[in-house]
Structure 1
Amino acid sequence: MAESSQNQKKIDNIFQVNPLKISDYEQDDIEDLRKNGRVSKWYNIRNKSEEFAFKTISEQEDQKLVQNQVTILKELHDCQNIIKFYGLTCEGNKWYLVTEWAEYGNLREYYTNNKDQFDLRLKLRMSLDIARGLNFLRAVEIVHRDIRAENILITINETAKLANFKLSRYLNAATLNQGQNLERVRYCAPELLERAPNYKYDHKCEVYSFGILLWEIAEGKIPYEDSNDIVDITDKVRNKMYREPFSENNQIPGEFKKLEIEGM
């Protein structure tokens, strides 16, 4: 059987496993809700220090995308810089994807809400966290396909972890048509913006997105924040070869800047 067929069989079987028992968990009284109420904090009733993120799987979601995400996450349990996946659970006909809880939310929320503690040392450490997560994906031949600040979660220990594997694929899998939105375009490699026929997303595209993230971490700002139009950003990046410059007064080491530039 071809490897792609074996992977698809794993995806087809994913909902046939026994779910986690919802009775083993209870929702946080504070009801810390995120993503428009779709993600909530729960505890293990036997150990209140164990916190989990319960993400609602809506009836409108493409089951194949959910199955794909679960399959990918099950492959990544050995990496400390990828959000931990614990399983699926249900309450009546309502299904949840259960992962570890990220206390500080995503990377952009972190640097926006914690400017005073986001010092040079922490910036470098989080950059290394993300690099380790991407290196792990490369080793197991998986591409994330949506590397951006919203999909980097920050735990209570201020560790950065890759999350949201809904669009991820095995490197040798068939190319998936990926719709673009403004936030994705901010991190998108020029060759993808060109939409060249038969161009296949690969790890070089992830490296480019990582370079954009390095700049965002260094500056604490949204990439191309003055542009709120997909066409404008596409023109800057693809046609004018524009890249966001580092500010003169930041304390980022030259090696860090060189890494960001080389990744672009």
Structure 2
Amino acid sequence: MTGSEVPPSFRLAYVPGVTPTKWVRIWNERLPDIPLTLVAVSADEAFDVLRARGADAGFVRLPVDREDLSAIPLYSETTVVVVPKDHIVAAVDEVTSEDLADEVVLHPLDDTLDWERPPGQPAFERPATTADAVDLVAAGIGVLVVPQSLARLHHRKDLTYRPVTDAPESRVALSWPQEETTDLVEDFIGIVRGRTVNSTRGRTPAAAAQPKSKPAPKRSDASGGARRKPAAGKSGSSKGGAKAGAKGSAKRGKPRRRS
């Protein structure tokens, strides 16, 4: 290797709430010689990082601008409301947006939910981050509606959460620059999609380029025709068959004597 050559590596960005541990483990098992580096990014800056080639691929939240980025939707998250443990919402299994109509619902600037109109009463100002909003919930300022993974990420002993059945869901996707669909990106796509280690999608295996071998020709007799076995119950000699047929015909044609 010359001094100008750089050993291969793979950089994977991920937004808050996404846990890439499983996929990283499979990568390390299949490609132990190619290090994978994790790049933590906010939901807002994830796309700029991909465009600037700060990561080869990344786990992001939809929507994605398909003009220059490719994306594979992976899953949707349950949306929950985060409340203090002594809040009335904590006494039920789930709520609707209408149930939060009288609540001050915090709407942080890094919100990942595509609201047409957020539920509840707006706060005097929007918190800068989801983490700041969680602190305000703990202080009794209001409640917070977020994807469940973010509620778990910012878990506190004095807070709990319940599903909001009619709230928009946040969808997570794997994204990468369209012009940079490299072999390593294809490898990671295969891991995320659950392909086996022997899967050849996206690659051209050596065996596939070899033509299939032709079957061996059938044995033939001296005349060049295929040798056939005589039918069961028939003699191989045409003379024997003709005599037997003539004899049987003569017996059947003799008239019977009348008494």
TM-score (norm 1): 0.19
Higher relative contact order (CA 8 A, sep 6+): 2
